[in-house]
Amino acid sequence: MKIRTEDKIVQAVLRKMDERSLIGQKKYGATMMQEIEGQEKDLNRFLIDVQEELMDELLYIEAAKRCLTDEIEEAMLNRMNVIGQNGNDGLHYDIQVNEEEVL
């Protein structure tokens, strides 16, 4: 199959899918089509696989969110340390709100 798109993102994803397919073939000893044709997997088994993958994806999303939160907190602490090392109290970074704007 010749890939006709010139979209670099699509090309990268297709390469990753191809690599993933080769890994799966090596791990399971067959292509997905061979699993269907050989009746090694039926529709129910494929749906179970989908459910399991989606559950894993939810866990990855939650873990990534926690990593991001940790990274943001670390960056904020580093920034405050730099401000402190420069002899600043950081007060000029606070947002000043005019009382008339609040009313």
Asked if 3 and 14 touch (Cβ cutoff 8 Å), the reply is yes
- pLDDT for 102 equals 52
pLDDT digits (tens, 9 = 90+) for 28-60: 999 999 999 999 999 999 999 999 999 999 999
Q: Which amino acid is at 77?
A: L
Q: Which residue's entry shows tokens 């699509």?
A: 10
pLDDT digits (tens, 9 = 90+) for 69-100: 999 998 888 888 887 777 776 566 555 556 56
DSSP calls for 41-90: S-HHHHHHHHHHHHHHHHHHHHHHHHHHHHHHHHHHHHHHHHHHHTT--S
> Could you tell me which residues come within 8 angstroms of residue 7 by beta carbon, excluding any fewer than 6 positions away?
none
- pLDDT for 58 equals 97
Tokens linked to 87: 């002899």
